[in-house]
Structure 1
């Protein structure tokens, strides 16, 4: 039967007539979900859905650290606010004191200068003894000044200290002028060189000397005595001679003073 042709039948596509599958939810039950994926009340009792996302240890630590950080920030803010408030109060007090008392720095002037001794020692150091009269003036109307121990008055030639001595303790009242006689003594190294420089300057008739003042004082505001401060200053003098046992003429004097806390 050679003339018989073999018939080829095409395979049917399985997608054309899909086989019915068994539903996952039993027949007769309803299942409804909203946008958030929450199951309805009709879900079978044997189906459990976990609503809360899984928690991780590092998330718990991060949550626990937030209250500590906020507490620390509040402490810093309170501290800064307290400091600012204290500064404002202090500034207000200072402003009131300045307005009520109008404090002014006392000033000093050199009345005369006398050299009792100026000579070379055997060790070639220069011995000097000066007597200085100064006038201390308190220009304040409502402030008294207590001069304390530890004061120093010194005479310098350029960078060399010639002699020094203390200012005595005393109280200076309001708008008071007080004249002070201070004895100054001292020894300077390289006396031969220093004495030669002084004698050379004496030939010109203009010898530059510096009178430096460093005085600890207490300010009196009414019945209140404030903390100790220091009055420091410098008087640049020009004298005509360094002759001993005679008053020296002061040709020029320029003084500047300020207060150090």
Structure 2
């Protein structure tokens, strides 16, 4: 009778009941949890950018408030005083001497000018500093300089200003000599320019001094011969008044 072969059984504690070495357990792949996330740098907030943004906002708000305040103040002044610019006109201009020395390239001239200043305002007074006067040809050549004393321009007032303007041996270049001789043949076109500073008084308020330039164009005079005096044509003369505000090195 043949013997029966029974498979070996392993006890609960892992000991083999039968003979022979115990088998190796099957290799299992082991996985370890990876809880560490990759490093990703977050966005950095620049403190300087935040400060700059706050500064710009404050500056914009301040400028806006100033603009609104100036606008309101201007509207109040306009409705209370109805301000108008003063006007100027060249009443007369006479030329008694105009001599160009070809040998020394010098100019000798003598002008007498009358200027009428009008203040149309009922509640505004102007206080003018001493005024410098220059006469130029239309080509920009200076042919005479003078000055006017300071004066007070009262309300609804018309003031006549008189001055003598001269050039005593002013040096000229060859181009200026040629231009003056050419222009003098058919009547010398002139431009009168006045530069001064003025303060405005409205009631009990006084403004700071502001630069003013008055430019009068459209004047023509014939060069006199001998001891004669030539009277300029001022019928077409027009004067423009411009305020000149100086900011640091620039004048506007």
Superposed pair shares fold, TM > 0.5: yes
Change (3 A) 1:68 1:184: closer
SS of the counterpart of 1:252? Answer: coil
TM-score (norm 1): 0.66
Matched, 1:100 2:80: yes
SS of the counterpart of 2:83? Answer: coil
Measure how far apart 1:256 and its partner are.
2.3
Matched, 1:216 2:197: yes
Equivalent positions of 1:47-62 (< 5 A) are: 58=41, 62=44
Equivalent positions of 1:1-261 (< 5 A) are: 58=41, 62=44, 65=45, 73-121=53-101, 123-149=104-130, 151-159=131-139, 160-186=141-167, 187=170, 189=172, 190=174, 192-202=177-187, 207-243=188-224, 245-246=228-229, 248-250=231-233, 251-261=235-245
Measure how far apart 1:238 and its partner are.
3.7
Inter-partner Cα distance in structure 1 for 2:49 and 2:216: 59
Aligned residues: 203
Inter-partner Cα distance in structure 1 for 2:47 and 2:104: 77
> Does the CA-based 8 Å contact 1:161-1:188 persist in structure 2?
no
> Does the CA-based 8 Å contact 1:154-1:165 persist in structure 2?
yes
Inter-partner Cα distance in structure 2 for 1:106 and 1:139: 7
Deviates more, 1:152-161 or 1:73-82: 73-82
Inter-partner Cα distance in structure 2 for 1:172 and 1:70: 54
Which residue number corresponds to residue 10 of structure 2?
none
Which residue number corresponds to residue 31 of structure 2?
none
Measure how far apart 1:125 and its partner are.
1.0
Measure how far apart 1:184 and its partner are.
0.8
What are structure 1's unaligned runs of at least 5 residues? 1-52
C-alpha RMSD of matched pairs (Å): 3.0
Measure how far apart 1:93 and its partner are.
0.9
- CA offset digits 1:141-196 (Å, max 9, x no partner): 111111113x3222222221111212211111111111111111122514642452
> Does the CA-based 8 Å contact 2:147-2:163 persist in structure 1?
yes
What are structure 2's unaligned runs of at least 5 residues? 1-35, 246-252
Measure how far apart 1:242 and its partner are.
2.7
> Does the CA-based 8 Å contact 1:239-1:248 persist in structure 2?
no
TM-score (norm 2): 0.68
> Does the CA-based 8 Å contact 1:145-1:172 persist in structure 2?
yes
SS of the counterpart of 2:222? Answer: coil
